[in-house]
């Protein structure tokens, strides 16, 4: 995941720091997890008195993102205890926990060997280890099953994005959202821009009508390629693919679902969490090296989303070397235009004559949005309140899957077709053995699979 480069004022760890040098966030990555930053400035918070009984946390997925989420959970509440961890590979758990040896809150990292659970089913034992909160930070393919288990156990959940990679996963997560709501459990998503102060202020102005009615939006997410892990002797096909999960569609959902879904979430936010009617688009593998580690994902997408009333949104994303980096959004409303620079300080609205209608102050607050996610989760738990990101997070995620379907197939795909798709990306079995190498999807050849009675089948 390649996210904000801003560093929190409190010394927290950004996702980009964990992605540095090609380290993959999530369930597994063979490269060593980068060291956490200095924690001297957190000594006072480390010694703060707990606000209530301990809140025991299980971390599922011990890569860079999981390590960062555990760090942020510890900072969010002085009563948080990291109690259990799970990952497919033991070395990932060891690397994660080693990062906390110099942590000012290391006394609250209480994960002995008997609460380190390896293997594809390790998450079950971690969730059932007597914890209150589960942090789901694995490779995205596994998220629906992990979320279902956490919700069935009535745990509070931080669920990293994306939440699923295919339509069956969407339907599973929709069911888990319903169950979490019925159980009055917190479900906080990893769509971090929803917790960014400049973005929150910008979209609040949109909601107030400062820009009139948003009619069109353009979003881009231009970054470089993520790192790879060369195959080692003894690795099975499954291990090789899981250790390179971000490069395989079945594990990551492709770059539009794994990374550019952040931009799609802002599109969804702009259009008030209303699903589009349809999408059409294109994509491909222009610069991906012809090596097994690069799997079958594309390196660029261009998608047009259209709503029933004619509103449109345009998404461009790419992961290509030696190219322009950018993460911006532009919105056209009936009263003017809006510009959002996710990696910079600029957020403004102007009327058609260029007069500034609103601007986020240069000295406005910019707390680390990744930390805010956890601050709000644990604050709600302590207060007996519920944060429920469920409905809109599944729409944002499914919009990304819809865009991928449109690009892979070369066809116009409706929302109804996408959510009804019968295609599952799951492997034949979750075991360390032989697994065919997937091949690149070809537009005009790849088909969106929908029930026989449905239009477009």
Look at residue 26 in the predicted model and tell me its pLDDT.
Answer: 31
Tokens in use for 140?
């995205």
Report in angstroms the alpha-carbon separations of 267 from 206, 220, 273.
12, 11, 8
- Weakly modelled stretches of the chain, pLDDT under 50: 1-44, 46, 457
Tokens in use for 56?
């025991």
Look at residue 453 in the predicted model and tell me its pLDDT.
Answer: 66
CA 138 to chain centre: 10
Look at residue 344 in the predicted model and tell me its pLDDT.
Answer: 83
Q: How far apart are CA 3 and CA 265, in angstroms?
A: 14
Q: How far apart are CA 138 and CA 157, in angstroms?
A: 13
The CATH fold assigned to 197-365+396-420 is Dihydrodipicolinate Reductase; domain 2 (3.30.360)
| Residue 222 buriedness (CB in 10 A; 0-12 / 13-18 / 19+) | middle
Look at residue 456 in the predicted model and tell me its pLDDT.
Answer: 57
| Tokens 């099953």, residue located | 145
- Show Cβ contacts of residue 202 under 8 Å, excluding neighbours closer than 6 positions: 338, 340, 347, 349, 360
Q: How far apart are CA 85 and CA 78, in angstroms?
A: 19
3 state SS of 71: helix
Query: Are the beta carbons of 261 and 400 closer than 8 angstroms?
Result: yes
Query: Are the beta carbons of 59 and 146 closer than 8 angstroms?
Result: no
3 state SS of 37: coil
CATH 3.40.50.720 at 15-193+369-389, yes or no = yes
Look at residue 455 in the predicted model and tell me its pLDDT.
Answer: 65
| Pairing of the two strands 80-87 and 116-118 | parallel
C-alpha dihedral sign at 135, 138, 144, 150:
negative
Report in angstroms the alpha-carbon separations of 426 from 139, 341, 346, 375, 379.
13, 36, 41, 34, 36
Question: Which run of H or E residues covers position 134?
Answer: strand 133-136
Look at residue 13 in the predicted model and tell me its pLDDT.
Answer: 34
Look at residue 167 in the predicted model and tell me its pLDDT.
Answer: 98
pLDDT in tens, 64-85: 999 999 999 999 999 999 999 9
Q: How far apart are CA 393 and CA 149, in angstroms?
A: 18
Q: How many CB atoms lie within 10 A of CB 206?
A: 21
All structural domains of the chain with their residue ranges: 15-193+369-389, 197-365+396-420
Look at residue 357 in the predicted model and tell me its pLDDT.
Answer: 98
Beta-strand ranges (E) seen in 195-299 are: 214-223, 278-284
| Pairing of the two strands 156-159 and 133-136 | parallel
pLDDT in tens, 119-131: 999 999 999 999 9
Q: Percent helix, strand and coil across the chain, each rounded to 5?
A: 35, 20, 45
Look at residue 391 in the predicted model and tell me its pLDDT.
Answer: 98
Q: How far apart are CA 146 and CA 195, in angstroms?
A: 24
- Residues across the chain: 457
CA 43 to chain centre: 30
Query: Are the beta carbons of 110 and 83 closer than 8 angstroms?
Result: yes
Q: How far apart are CA 298 and CA 443, in angstroms?
A: 12
Q: How far apart are CA 280 and CA 404, in angstroms?
A: 9
């Amino acid at each position: 995941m390649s996210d904000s480069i801003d560093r929190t004022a409190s010394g927290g760890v950004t996702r980009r720091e964990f992605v540095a040098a090609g380290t993959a966030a999530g369930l597994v990555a063979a490269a060593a997890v980068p060291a956490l930053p200095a924690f001297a400035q957190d000594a006072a918070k480390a010694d703060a008195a707990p606000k209530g009984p301990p809140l025991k946390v299980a971390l599922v997925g011990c890569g860079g993102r999981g390590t960062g989420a555990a760090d942020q959970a510890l900072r969010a509440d002085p009563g948080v205890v990291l109690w259990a961890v799970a990952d497919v590979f033991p070395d990932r758990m060891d690397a994660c926990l080693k990062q906390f040896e110099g942590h000012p809150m290391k006394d609250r990292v209480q994960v002995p060997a008997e609460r380190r659970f390896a293997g594809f089913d390790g998450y079950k034992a971690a969730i059932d280890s007597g914890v209150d909160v589960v942090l789901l930070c694995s490779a995205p393919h596994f998220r629906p099953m992990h979320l279902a288990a956490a919700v069935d156990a009535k745990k509070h959940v931080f669920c990293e994005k994306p939440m699923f990679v295919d339509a069956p996963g969407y339907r599973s997560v929709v069911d888990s959202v319903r169950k979490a709501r019925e159980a009055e459990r917190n479900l906080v998503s990893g769509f971090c821009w929803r917790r960014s102060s400049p973005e929150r202020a910008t979209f609040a102005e949109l909601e107030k009508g400062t820009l009139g009615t948003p009619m069109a939006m353009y979003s881009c997410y231009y970054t470089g390629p993520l790192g790879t892990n060369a195959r080692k002797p003894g690795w099975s096909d499954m291990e090789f693919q899981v250790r390179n999960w971000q490069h395989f569609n079945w594990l990551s959902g492709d770059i539009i679902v794994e990374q550019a879904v952040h931009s799609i979430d802002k599109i969804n936010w702009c259009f008030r969490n209303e699903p589009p009617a349809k999408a059409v688009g294109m994509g491909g593998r222009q610069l991906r090296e012809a090596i097994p580690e690069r799997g079958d994902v594309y390196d660029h997408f261009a998608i047009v989303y259209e709503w029933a009333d004619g509103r449109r949104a345009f998404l461009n994303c790419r992961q290509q070397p030696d190219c322009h980096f950018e993460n911006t959004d532009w919105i056209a409303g009936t009263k003017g235009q809006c510009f959002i620079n996710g990696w910079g300080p600029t957020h403004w609205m102007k009327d058609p004559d260029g007069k500034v209608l609103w601007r986020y102050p240069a000295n406005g607050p910019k707390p680390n949005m990744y930390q805010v996610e956890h601050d709000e989760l644990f604050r709600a738990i302590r207060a007996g309140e519920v944060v429920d990101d469920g409905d809109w997070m599944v729409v944002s995620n499914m919009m990304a899957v819809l865009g991928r379907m449109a690009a892979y197939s070369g066809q116009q795909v409706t929302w109804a077709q996408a959510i009804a798709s019968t295609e599952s990306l799951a492997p034949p079995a979750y075991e360390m053995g032989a697994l065919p190498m997937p091949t690149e999807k070809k537009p005009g050849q790849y088909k969106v699979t929908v029930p026989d009675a449905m239009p477009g089948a």
